[in-house]
Amino acid sequence: MIERKIATSVVLGALGLISACGGGGAQSIALPEPNQTDICETNDVGVATNCRTGQKIVFLPAQFGNAQLPVYFAAANCDLRYSVVLTNGAVTCIFKPIKLTEEAKGTSAPASQAQGK
């Protein structure tokens, strides 16, 4: 009986430590409800400038062939906290563009292509 009380105390103490570690600085972030009624369409792989954050965006490139384009588009334009629909030729997601640095604004090619890799 004493061993069981000790084991229970150890388990409860460990759970207390685990919850204390996770709750110290972490805050839950309430996500705004995405705009499910409006769709913004683009065929440019770069950061979309004609869409509003939180609305659906669909990327339909003018030419098909480079299977990496949808991945680049999703990285630059999609809120990855939500689902992303991705095929070899298109992407649909909730729009949340990356913030470009001044250096990145000058180039439209991905870093690996700009460096010739």
Task: Return the domain boundaries, the chain.
Answer: 35-109
Rounded Cα distance between 83 and 87, Å, is: 13
pLDDT tops 70 at residue 9 = no
Report helix, strand or coil for 107.
Answer: coil
**Taking the mean position of all CA atoms in its chain, how far away is CA 58?**
15
3-state secondary structure 33-97: CCEEEEEEEECCCCCCCCCCCCEEEEECCCCCCCCCHHHHHHHHHECCCCCCEECCCCEEEEECC
Alpha-carbon distance values, 21 to 16, 18, 36 (Å) = 9, 5, 37
- The residue that leads in pLDDT, 37 or 9, is 37
Rounded Cα distance between 1 and 78, Å, is: 56
Q: Tell me, what's the pLDDT at 25?
A: 52
In tens, the pLDDT along 87-107 reads: 988 999 999 999 877 655 555
Q: Tell me, what's the pLDDT at 62?
A: 87
Q: Tell me, what's the pLDDT at 83?
A: 95
Q: Tell me, what's the pLDDT at 65?
A: 81
Q: Tell me, what's the pLDDT at 102?
A: 64
Strand order of the β-sheet with 91-94 is: 35-42, 55-59, 91-94, 85-86
Predicted model pTM: 0.61
